[in-house]
Structure 1
């Protein structure tokens, strides 16, 4: 199954008591050899239907409820059938007006006003208005299970001031909350006001504002969505329909990509130039910009020796990231710098912090010296022993079958042995792996960071005390159990301002604090996986036309692609 969908709403980000479904470690499923056959029951693709693989299921369940987590409803329910108020375009670093045309904060940043786009209709022809927006937010307030981004942990009220204006009152200044508000899919009041149980509601025949609202076919092995007859963007979408065959495993989805059945996908494909592009250089293309989250090695800072910043930095300096990138990641990425930020946050990056972070550079001599300084001397067997006479021995956890991460962890354990650290690779199925990392019941573990729009979210997860939980209690994001009061002060200052220059200044200070303390060990920025074929459709984003992320795996940004792709 696509990792992003599997984990999107298992990884919960606390926002001061709120629970937010965070992004998964990777946007694509793991590479496998293309040996399985495509489903025999899936009918052949129509020339007018764009065929997409985004989630792997043995059979489809008809559910188009946009208020549920993405893995509970069919893609693209939350961003394609239904729509948000605005869309953050990662590549451009800007909010794209969608159902709302503009937003404005009050001077104290405790009120947010959104102006609605005029002339928008629901797919049944009824007019869309601010009242639908207020209804949606008040509905998820009544049903906490639907408040996926936990907006009601910082919202006080939501009111439609008139048909064109919605006012959000906040309990405290919380400017980063804007992204959770504007990314909320909106439902029509006239269809949902009488739904008895919106949590269990499958919404099998959706009425929505998105480009694809009409369920043309829904079978166990394939479904197809047609164009919205009342879509608000003139002439869009150009694609007549989108089609989804059911692939029980990534083997079958990858084979469908390699054999030309798929027009668009978002998978990790090893050696993609050879196995995919070379099969049809004219039509087969991919684009993996480094705007995913960052892959890191979490170390449990409640345990010795990981509570010592010298040890954390020494372990980091013993890791050969160039080898990891080449062998484990097929050269798709690059070594991370010490800020732990991916290219998503390039515009925020502090050059001074990057320069100061020499501990992400391979330096065996310095790593040995720092471990000696920390009191971990090599014993007769070559394994370091601490002041407590215990050997420096620990496990590195990773998920079984995530072969790129498994290879990376193998390299890490080999590297650490060179400095006298006896690190042992341990693989787990996803569920026990995720339970261990959430509860802090690990020594070291491969993991991932947030990929939200600003460094605020990354550093809140990695250094803030608000998300700290005792060992054994589930932690939404602060899995390594590290908290800094100094970081708290910076995070609170960031929350209270919408001045871009002030935010950037604070973000620079956060980076300096992170580099100084090395709470986690960054490895490499994650690629945003995306593949496409131009046999039947064109105008996909790519490095020459980077209007949006290519990947279908990060809603609501996939909407930017759905409305721009054209039949050939």
Structure 2
């Protein structure tokens, strides 16, 4: 049984992600003239200097995933499509979904010259299973090297839904080096991988990828890629205007007229990742603050004027969002019939804000802000310095929230500090996006962000469930879904119903908008970018696995 059986029969097309912001300075080197030796300059939203870390399992890694460390297959999350073979060439499930067999590519070597074999794959998955902090996919099976080019994954129960994550998101690492590395703590300075690019020069202001001349797929046409650390979105927009940035996923002025304003560039927008105000939600897990009250979360949800927010912060590039996080409209078929609201209101509903708070015992004070038990309803939103679109979004939401009786403030910090706060639970609210996972199905978002197994007590490092949401009914429904084929919607829907009703009721992540991810890239210097006609990868420079595929497809313009 094929991994994606039934998925190609669903016409749901996914796209884009929340624009986070990117930039460039001249101090770290711009592009060379167009031609075969052109350097592609990219910016991923890094605010402040880079701190060297190429550990692919680390949440603070700065690069290497996809380009240096490859997965078994590439799963295109931008649209329903077949798996793209990488280190794996063939895969199939047994009939009951308990054994996944994978054939590996023969003749592949690590960049230090050692042979790549099935033992490396088995070792990698054993590493995940024995280290919960890096096991974001919840791998609980057994990986066995049958011989050098065949590996099997065995599970105690049907595990069809684990296929896309297992095959398309786990970076394979070399056993001969990683058997002495602590994957949760060690910083890897000189990564050894099988990918198309090697890590070249590193400086705090920039690091480079250099084409791997011995890559199994052939040396890529783009010989050098430089990632730069900058101050924020404005620097990225300035880099586009100056012609010194080649790929920038983030906002620039008048983005809809990019090609007219900057003839050597074009812009492309996709919609996929769903923007949220994520809360540290669970008192049981150690969260503290007004946001631990579901009534407060619902009040904030109702206070937002999403039409105004889209216009002021995102140049109308965002779109509607479902409170149940079924991507609309492409996943509407998964939305529970019991939901009273399948799409978040675009206008503010102040009466609902007041009702939510007052029924929970909050009383509006003389300053117009609600309070309860001597605690003023004041909330802080963590955001990365330089993410101008998100900062503008918080400012806009703060004005809207104040009108509804909620005090909302922004706290800016470096990307590293922001990541640490989010992972450790040291926050009240974080503005971020929930990714859709490796396949066009809401199961993956739910299992990533709502499964208690990927959360942690405040002070300990959480996986994707950084809101620390815990709900035994949701966990049980996810377990049931994990045992069902992806194409059996009739059997799966009752469990989706359970999850969605809990998600909407508890609202640990306050839905904002579905972000339109817009990339601006140089068409004068490079060809082969994704398009509507050939959407072979999700086009965002910070989506590492997708970016790696794009780098391999690009060609310098002569």
TM-score, normalised to structure 1, is 0.76
How far has the Cα of 1:521 moved from its partner? 1.6
Tell me the alpha carbon deviations over residues 253-304 of structure 1, each in whole angstroms, 9 at most, x when there is no partner: 5443332234333344344346x544333x3112231223432352645468
The match for 1:90 is: 77
**1:364 pairs with 337, 347, 350, which one?**
350
* Residue of structure 2 in register with 1:319 after alignment: 304
CA distance in 2, matches of 1:399, 1:219: 26
Partner of 1:287: 268
Match of 1:111 in 2: 99
Other structure's SS at 1:159 match: strand
Residues 400-453 of structure 1 deviation map (CA, whole Å, 9 limit, x = unaligned): 63332232222223223333x241414142466555555555554434334423
Shift of 1:129: 4.5
Q: Whose Rg is larger?
A: 1
Aligned partner of residue 32 in structure 2, secondary structure = coil
Question: Is 1:266 aligned with 2:249?
Answer: yes
Q: Give 1:201 deviation, angstroms.
A: 5.9
Aligned to 1:423: 407
Q: In the aligned structure 2, how far is the partner of 1:122 from the partner of 1:340? A: 40
What is the distance in 2 between the residues matched to 1:565 and 1:200?
30
Greater relative contact order, per chain length (Cα 8 Å cut-off, separation 6+): 2
The CA distance in 2 between the partners of 1:378 and 1:248, in whole Å, is 42
TM-score (norm 2): 0.77
The answer to whether the 8 A contact 2:161-2:482 is kept is: yes
The corresponding residue for 2:382 is: 398
For 2:122, the equivalent position in structure 1 comes to: 134
Task: Identify the residue that residue 155 of structure 1 maps to in structure 2.
Answer: 141
Partner of 2:225: 243
> Helix, strand or coil for the counterpart of 1:523?
strand
**How many Å separate the matches in 1 of 2:519 and 2:161?**
28
Deviation string, structure 1 residues 44-80 (Cα, Å, up to 9, x no partner) = 34611341314559888998x675548546x4x3323
- Counterpart CA distance in 1 for 2:474 and 2:335 is 16
Query: Which structure 2 residues correspond to residues 14-413 of structure 1 after superposition, within 5 A?
Result: 28-29=20-21, 38-39=26-27, 44-45=32-33, 47-48=35-36, 49-55=38-44, 67=56, 69=58, 72=61, 75=63, 77-94=64-81, 95-107=83-95, 109-117=97-105, 129-134=117-122, 136-137=124-125, 140=127, 148-149=134-135, 154-156=140-142, 158-170=143-155, 174-182=159-167, 183-187=169-173, 192=176, 202-203=189-190, 208=194, 210-212=195-197, 218=201, 223=208, 225-226=210-211, 228-229=213-214, 231-232=216-217, 237=220, 239-244=221-226, 246-250=228-232, 254-273=237-256, 276-281=258-263, 283-298=264-279, 300=281, 302=283, 309-342=294-327, 346=331, 349-350=334-335, 352=337, 356-357=341-342, 360-361=345-346, 362-378=348-364, 382-384=368-370, 386=372, 388=373, 390=374, 393-399=377-383, 401=385, 402-413=387-398
1:538 Cα deviation from its structure 2 partner: 1.4
Aligned equivalents of 2:300, 2:393: Cα separation in 1: 15
Distance 1:142 1:218, change over 3 A: same
1:196 and 1:515, CA in 2 relative to 1: closer, same or farther beyond 3 A?
closer
Deviates more, 1:452-461 or 1:245-254: 245-254
Number of equivalenced pairs: 520
Could you list the runs of 5+ residues in structure 1 that have no partner in the other structure? 1-24
Kindly state the Cα deviation for residue 317 of structure 1 after the two structures are TM-superposed: 1.6
1:345 and 1:455 in contact (8 A); partners too:
no
Q: Classify 1:561/1:194 alpha carbon distance in 2 versus 1 (closer, same or farther; 3 Å).
A: closer
**Shift, 1:549, TM fit:** 1.4
User: Aligned partners of 2:424 and 2:208: how far apart in 1?
Assistant: 39
Please give the alpha-carbon distance, in whole angstroms, between the structure 1 residues aligned to 2:543 and 2:413. Answer: 24
Aligned to 1:449: 434
Structure 2: give runs of 5+ residues left out of the alignment. Answer: 1-16
For 1:194 and 1:476, locate their aligned partners in 2 and report how far apart those are by CA, in whole Å: 21
CA positional deviation for 1:93: 3.4
Within 5 A, what are the aligned runs for 1:470-549? 470=457, 474-502=461-489, 504-505=492-493, 506-549=495-538
2:458 corresponds to 1:458: no
Please state how far the C-alpha of 1:26 moved relative to its aligned partner.
5.6
Between the aligned partners of 1:434 and 1:201, the Cα distance in structure 2 is 18
Whether contact under 8 Å (1:377, 1:385) holds in the other structure is yes
- Shift in Å, 1:86: 0.8
> Taking structure 1 as reference, are residues 466 and 258 closer, same or farther at Cα in structure 2, changes over 3 Å only?
same
Question: CA separation in 1, counterparts of 2:48 and 2:368?
Answer: 50
Contact kept in structure 2, 1:50 and 1:537, CA below 8 Å: no
The 8 Å contact of residues 90 and 291 in structure 1, kept in 2 or not, is answered as no
**Contact 2:321–2:343 (Cα < 8 Å) also in 1:** no
CA distance in 1, matches of 2:532, 2:300: 35
